[in-house]
Structure 1
């Protein structure tokens, strides 16, 4: 009978409590019983422990992800500002001889993350997670924390395709940061290297020289690091030297990038952005030398 069983259990419980109170040997019995019951207690508390642990992990993970994102954007922003210091230091030496110089303006930007790389070994392109809805446009410069990466060649609503500076079809006007000599750097295509085109054999360019954007052609802002000269070869009897440079951007390792926006137009003749401070004849000549990249449709 249920009542009889309950009565027997109650009597046993009272007897055990009395024995536990009066006899010291019950301590060892209690310890053994606790050992036997421990797995049951662990199994009963397991669901609540798992839920509490999961909630704590997700909460900490969200906070860490948010903090990591903020720190990455802060590092990119600071690197964006520091990259111009080498160019500005050399430029200030030249500008001291001038009566006045145009004021440097902060360049607005947004951050983007790598989505995919082009599997074709003969092309150097990548896709970022920023598109038309973020204000991205064809021809927009792209940088990482170390230097110039390339430019946007196609834009969709939520992504954009970027042509890297090492692609054989990419060329941009650069200048030697040490003395201001201007040349055109073109991607080698086969490896992570740039070829500096049409360098006179007598030009003052040396190994380890820093190449920065010259700002000509209005496509890239002036003064941003592009590459460092690796090799200068002078062939006897040849009018031009063969110059090879290594890009400063970590093209094979970076996952986060800066997409730069031109500043507001400042001239009344319709020219704006980086072209506003350039001579129109020089802009046209640089465009003819470097060439503009033909836009293509984004996948």
Structure 2
């Protein structure tokens, strides 16, 4: 009786057959390179599968690198803004230092008679009273400052020392209503009196005769009378003349040459030469 199902080779025979075929394939591939082209085709066929299998990792890496949270962006933006503010503040400091150096160069190069000594001072505060034009500077009695000492900027006369403390002093400006400066017209030597008007851009000249030879644009300089201000320093320029023949005197106004509203550094003049005047300070330097 024949069996219904035929039995093939035994498992042992199959194993031997597979090992023999594998050995032949290894031999031909190693010695004769018979399967190089086939391997290339197979590699090309499975490349899309490799890319597909690797795509989740690549996607996650891209997301973690390029996608940040809103809070992180805000923090970075705030950091950049703070850095920008710091850089702008440093740039402004450099600009301020540059301007101060230019002011000091101009101030120290102002024309002075050789026999007069000069000392640089810096303004500490400005009087808040609109009817009182006074300043406080960082020089006092220990620096050799004295009452009545003339003060000027790089352009012209500013005022004089009113009160003196040990380390600070108060200056009254030429525009103060209680201050007056004896001046003369530089063009012809005509003597006038320049009185403060309470306005930083105007000086009054009272009791100017109708016959006086004054013109708009005439420069007024210190006359040296009274002994407060040395002779020949610029004070103001004539800006207005009212020639009303019905009045006994002319109405004459002038504009101060000194930049009263933009003062920062000042020069104090002196005929004396005390050592303390030129002692170095932390804020400024005094120069002969």
Instruction: Report the TM-score when normalising by structure 1.
Output: 0.59
**Aligned residues of 2:123 and 2:135 also touching (Cα < 8 A):** no
**Aligned residues of 1:143 and 1:257 also touching (Cα < 8 A):** no
The alignment covers a number of residue pairs equal to 223
**SS of alignment partner, residue 110 of structure 1:** strand
> C-alpha separation between the residues in 1 aligned to 2:237 and 2:195?
13
Q: How does 1:62-101 map to 2 (within 5 A)?
A: 66-78=97-109, 80-81=110-111
Q: Is residue 212 from structure 1 mapped to residue 221 from structure 2 by the alignment?
A: yes
**SS of alignment partner, residue 62 of structure 2:** helix
Structure 2: give runs of 5+ residues left out of the alignment.
1-49, 274-288
Equivalent residue number for residue 141 of structure 1? 150
* Alignment deviations for residues 152-195 of structure 1 (CA, whole Å, 9 cap, x no partner): 10122332221111222111111111112222211123674222
**Aligned residues of 2:177 and 2:197 also touching (Cα < 8 A):** yes
> C-alpha separation between the residues in 2 aligned to 1:60 and 1:191?
32
Aligned match of 1:33 in 64, 81, 84? 64
Structure 1: give runs of 5+ residues left out of the alignment.
1-18, 85-102, 266-299
Using a 3 Å threshold, how does the CA distance of structure 1 residues 55 and 230 change in structure 2: closer, same or farther? closer
Aligned match of 1:168 in 166, 177, 182? 177
> C-alpha separation between the residues in 2 aligned to 1:54 and 1:68?
21
**SS of alignment partner, residue 108 of structure 1:** strand
> C-alpha separation between the residues in 2 aligned to 1:28 and 1:135?
80
Equivalent residue number for residue 294 of structure 1? none
Once the 2 structures are TM-superposed, how far is the Cα of residue 245 of structure 1 from its aligned partner? 1.5
Equivalent residue number for residue 259 of structure 1? 267
CA-atom RMSD in angstroms: 3.9
Using a 3 Å threshold, how does the CA distance of structure 1 residues 240 and 40 change in structure 2: closer, same or farther? closer
Once the 2 structures are TM-superposed, how far is the Cα of residue 209 of structure 1 from its aligned partner? 0.9
* Alignment deviations for residues 184-209 of structure 1 (CA, whole Å, 9 cap, x no partner): 21112367422223323222111221
Q: How does 1:239-278 map to 2 (within 5 A)?
A: 240-251=249-260, 253-264=261-272
- Report the structure number with the largest CA radius of gyration: 2
Q: How does 1:1-299 map to 2 (within 5 A)?
A: 23=54, 26-35=57-66, 66-78=97-109, 80-81=110-111, 105=115, 107-119=117-129, 121-189=130-198, 192-236=201-245, 240-251=249-260, 253-264=261-272
